[in-house]
């Protein structure tokens, strides 16, 4: 029997290979009996690693968690290109892999660090005229997807065992590691496709904090999962936290837009996103910024949590 208490917050899951992100979300929903469940960043079915699952009111955190940096461990195979840019696709081109040394590979890889423009894969969830790109690709409809601005913060070559290569990538949200692997393979003159991908971190969370659903105690999986739920107030550890009194909390939850003087004096010169909390409860996420024309700072409520 499920615990009647509704879970609100974030659950970190180590997604298994072969399961879609939606499939993992569906399993969590069933185990916890929570109706509203989502996630902050899709992983392809062949990929494994950190999936940030959002529960109940935690779904309101999605845009804030989605914006965080991601870290991956990826292995690509040189000399073979596929239509999906990964091991699930059909081979479309094969080329011989010339002898490459680690120093040469690292030099080529360094050109991909920084701000880039990247074309999403044809087999992706990006929409083109209202239709998912992968749906069009499966029907053989040619699609020209627009380039996106991304940032590769760090790219390290961990190992080179031709024709395979393993690398660690730290990148901005919206980066397709499949496309990065294909572009790097092209730069090395051999082409490439991704054969494994593991997400090691997403925003403030790391894989060592995650739980594998299949490893939970089968007798009481919902209880074990609930113990791993990160409360709303702790879900954005890098965001400043400021306490409000009970009356202000009630008013904000009823739709009141507070003034800067309604908040604690300790707000000082803080700007940007802040958490408004009452005790251990997250009341709202707010944005503090200077008013137009240099007027006194203003508070804008971004999300309210009940």
> Is residue 16 helix, strand or coil?
coil
**CB-based contacts of 56: which residues, under 8 Å, 6+ apart?**
6, 7, 8, 9, 34, 36, 37
80 φ/ψ angles, rounded to the nearest 5 degrees: -145, 125
> Is residue 279 helix, strand or coil?
coil
From 241, 277, 236, 303, select the one nearest 66 (Cα to Cα): 236
Question: What number of CA atoms fall less than 13 Å from residue 92's CA on the CB side?
Answer: 13
Bridge partners (DSSP) listed for residue 243: 277
**CB-based contacts of 294: which residues, under 8 Å, 6+ apart?**
none
Q: How many Cβ atoms sit within 10 Å of the Cβ of residue 27?
A: 19
Q: CA torsion angle for 50, 61, 23, 51 (degrees, to 10)? A: 0
Any idea which residues carry the catalytic annotation? 44
Q: CA torsion angle for 109, 18, 50, 174 (degrees, to 10)? A: 50
Question: Which tokens is 114 given?
Answer: 């920084």
User: What stretch of H or E contains 55?
Assistant: strand 48-55
Residue 132, classified by CB atoms within 10 Å of its CB into exposed (0-12), middle (13-18) or buried (19+), is: middle
């Amino acid at each position: 029997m499920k615990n009647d208490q509704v879970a609100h917050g974030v659950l970190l899951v180590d997604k298994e290979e072969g399961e879609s992100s939606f499939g993992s979300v569906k399993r969590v929903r069933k185990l916890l009996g929570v109706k509203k469940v989502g996630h902050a960043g899709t992983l392809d079915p062949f990929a494994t690693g950190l999936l940030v699952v959002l529960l109940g009111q935690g779904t309101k955190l999605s845009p804030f968690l989605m914006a965080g940096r991601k870290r991956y461990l990826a292995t690509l195979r040189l000399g073979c290109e596929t239509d999906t840019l990964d091991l699930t696709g059909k081979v479309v081109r094969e080329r011989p892999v010339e002898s490459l040394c680690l120093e040469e590979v690292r030099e080529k890889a360094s050109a991909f660090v920084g701000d880039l423009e990247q074309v999403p894969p044809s087999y992706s969830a990006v929409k083109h005229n209202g239709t998912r790109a992968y749906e069009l690709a499966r029907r053989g409809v040619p699609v020209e997807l627009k380039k996106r601005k991304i940032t590769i913060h760090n790219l390290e070559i961990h190992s080179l065992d031709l024709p395979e290569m393993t690398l660690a990538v730290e990148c901005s949200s919206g980066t397709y590691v499949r496309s990065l692997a294909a572009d790097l393979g092209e730069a090395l003159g051999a082409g490439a496709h991704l054969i494994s991908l593991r997400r090691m971190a997403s925003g403030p969370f790391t894989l060592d904090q995650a739980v594998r659903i299949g490893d939970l105690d089968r007798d009481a999986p919902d209880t074990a999962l609930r113990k791993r739920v990160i409360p709303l107030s702790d879900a954005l550890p890098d965001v400043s936290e400021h306490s409000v009194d009970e009356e202000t909390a009630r008013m904000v939850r009823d739709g009141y837009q507070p003034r800067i003087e309604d908040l604690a004096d300790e707000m000082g010169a803080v700007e940007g996103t802040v958490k408004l909390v009452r005790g251990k409860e997250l009341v709202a996420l707010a944005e503090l910024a200077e008013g137009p024309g240099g007027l006194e700072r203003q508070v804008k409520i971004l999300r309210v949590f009940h």
